A and B are shown apart, each in its own frame.
Chain A
């Protein structure tokens, strides 16, 4: 069955450093992959979408890579700030219905 793996352990980093979050998947050939941010008690907020034929996408301090051979996406936040502390979810899709991973919590310390 399809499986999406995100590190269940929180990632703790120091302000100003680059945070790198990982999303691995198995038994899946997604046409696209998305990253969302979720704050406690709130709905997920869309950040970036990358398609299977794209290797990398950037938006301001965010960068996403997508390796369909390794079946992995990396999500980078450069010059991280305490305000970046949240849970980050990856979502894979082949059609209109994305499937979500459980998310990884990022904590940026001042």
Chain B
């Protein structure tokens, strides 16, 4: 068990560019989550997968954001046409049957849009 892995850890991009983050969950976990966190705030839910199915998506999530989890393993979160307001830490978490309701986070991917 190597924990949840996220890449890249830091990304600086110009406004209008597209960025993609990758998350590798804990291997036996079938549930995967993306959250976003800005300074001084708690993690804000973005989207949730069970295996390869995207079961829930926040209503606050702009259509510039898309997430995938092909084959129910790793996941990617893409942000198109980035805006300065997208600057945040993007957190991936995973959980599974043994973990129950507990979700385990990765170290996050910091995005700075300039």
Partner-B contacts on A (CB < 8 A): 4, 6, 8, 31-32, 34, 36, 41-46, 49, 89, 91, 93, 96-103
Contact = CB atoms under 8 A, between A and B. Distances in A.
Nearest to A8: B40
Contact of B106 (A41, A43, A98, A102): A43
Interface residues of B, number: 26
A89 B42 contact: yes
B65 interface: no
B107 A98 contact: no
B31 interface: yes
Interface string B91-113: 10101000011111111101000
Contacts of A99: 45
A6 to B, nearest CB: 8
A93 B101 contact: yes
